[in-house]
Chain A
Amino acid sequence: MFIKRILEDIGRYFILMKLVFRRPDNFRMYWDAFVRDLYMLGVKSLGLVAIISLFVGAVVTIQTALNLENPIIPKYYIAIATRESIILEFSPTMISLILAGKVGSNIASTLGTMRVSEQIEALEVMGVKSASFLILPKIAACVIFNPILIIISMFLGIVGGYIFGTSTGMISGTDFIKGLQIDYTPFYIAYALVKTVVFAFVITSISAYYGFFVKGGAVEVGENSTKAVVASSLVLILTNYLLTQLLLG
């Protein structure tokens, strides 16, 4: 029963995606929607991402410093470890999970409300390809803007580590900078960005699925946006595992 429902969901998800990727009727209108979504889903997440990154960067540095309190291990290892954990996992995966909550529930509830108040049918009656017009700009906005958010997050995470690490006297500024430069692998950034793009697609498309097919009223809209967050987080974690195997394994 449970399996059957999941298979049905997956099937309908792919049918929806086929409807989403259709040629826009009117580029101008899609562009306007894209710009609006860029602001609603991307720019408006900047503050949250910045604050979380600064503090998590700090915590990562402090905890690494505490774990490496051994006179034999050079202090700059703290910076190396901080850099790697932020670039490889914290920024792309953790921040994407947080965005799955924020952006995912926003998309699911916006589309769900449009569904139950017949706005989607109103679009259909006019002859608008509703799935494409409503969902494509959101996917595009997140796929393009989330990598920017993640780069900002990496930067601020390391800055946070630097500020808290040096101000608590756990590591000197020169050691920190030195550590950042040792063994630096540009591929890791590329890896993180690839993950981010995939996650952005997962979050937006799955949340859109849960919002677009709501049946009922306000209660169901709420329920479905919870489901959207749960499902996109789970799929995100699973994809993270697969991508890590694939790209780094």
Chain B
Amino acid sequence: MIRVTNIHKKFGDLHVLKGIDATFMKGKTNLIIGKSGSGKTVFLKCLLGIHDIDDGDVDFDGRLISEMSIEDRRKLRLELGMVFQGSALFDSLTVEENVSFPLRMFTKKSSKEIAERTNFCLNRVNIENANHLFPAEISGGMQKRVAIARAIVMNPRYLFCDEPNSGLDPKTAMVIDELIQEITQEFDITTVINTHDMNSVLQIGDHVNFLVGGKKIWEGSKEDVLHTDNQELADFVFSSELFKKVRRAARSE
């Protein structure tokens, strides 16, 4: 479980996160939704420690970021997995080398064990016969899956995904969403996902946090989203005609 209390982040005069509290549960896909520029990526990067926070605290199963030494933080990073918005695969390395990278860097496993673990993770995300291809040689959907494989290769306790299905067709997007949800449940990971894709919200939104202008103004499950009276959330989530119909149908049940 991750508990965030009152975090603030500023870039110079730009106050991006204005005191966010949130709880992300273990074994659940916790979503963060919000308009472009509302601070989703910055929020995730604060949790990851890429950005230092200006105020507030993050609690990783009883371990407070504010009380950690630099060494503690480095150790914590070995428990984090991250899928970046653009996959962020190392383009000079093959698929296999990308996935095995953390193992080779941080463990003393033999090359046989590394190969086994790498192939296990690649299988888990349904990548076959692509071990020796470079990221530029595979499709966007495959890149996302390889990025997921790389994020889970060290058996993380926490998984972060920044818009994991942006830029994918609806079918592939759903496959990726379901994959992340399955992995979350299977390995009992605390997963936090940024998205502005409403299909994802209604599909895998175990718990949804809604950010507006650097503040969290709403939270609830995907069912709550359907029945919400919060006008801002309704306007954001049900912006298209199709989703408006879905909502009307759900509310009239």
A interface list, Cβ under 8 A from B: 25-26, 28-29, 36, 110, 113-114, 117-119, 121-122, 124-128
Contacts and interface: CB of A to CB of B under 8 A. Distances in A.
B88 A119 contact: yes
Interface in B76-121: 77-78, 80, 82, 84-86, 88-92, 101-102, 104-106
Contact of B86 (A28, A117, A126): A117
B7 interface: no
B50 A121 contact: yes
A197 to B, nearest CB: 26
B102 A126 contact: yes
Contacts of A36: 92
B74 interface: yes
Given A25-B105, A26-B104, A117-B88, 18 more contacts: A26-B105, A26-B106, A110-B92, A114-B90, A114-B91, A118-B84, A118-B85, A118-B86, A118-B88, A119-B88, A119-B89, A122-B84, A125-B48, A125-B77, A125-B80, A126-B77, A126-B105, A126-B106
Contacts of A126: 77-78, 101-102, 105-106
Contacts of A113: 91
Contacts of B101: 126
B50 A124 contact: yes
**Interface bracket on B:** 20 to 34
Looking at A28, A29, A122, which has the most chain B CB atoms within 10 Å of its CB?
A: A122
Contacts of B78: 126-127
The 5 A-B residue pairs with the shortest CB-CB distance, nearest first, are A127-B77, A118-B88, A122-B88, A118-B84, A125-B82
A25 B86 CA distance: 27
A125 B89 contact: no
A120 B116 CA distance: 26
A118 B90 CA distance: 9
Contacts of B86: 117-118
Contacts of B106: 25-26, 126-127
A26 B109 CA distance: 13
Contacts of B50: 121, 124-125
B74 A127 contact: yes
28 contacts: A28-B104, A29-B104, A36-B92, A113-B91, A117-B91, A118-B84, A118-B88, A119-B89, A119-B90, A119-B91, A121-B45, A121-B84, A122-B82, A122-B84, A122-B88, A122-B90, A124-B50, A125-B48, A125-B50, A125-B77, A125-B80, A126-B78, A126-B102, A126-B106, A127-B77, A127-B78, A127-B106, A128-B105
Nearest to A26: B105
Contacts of A25: 105-106
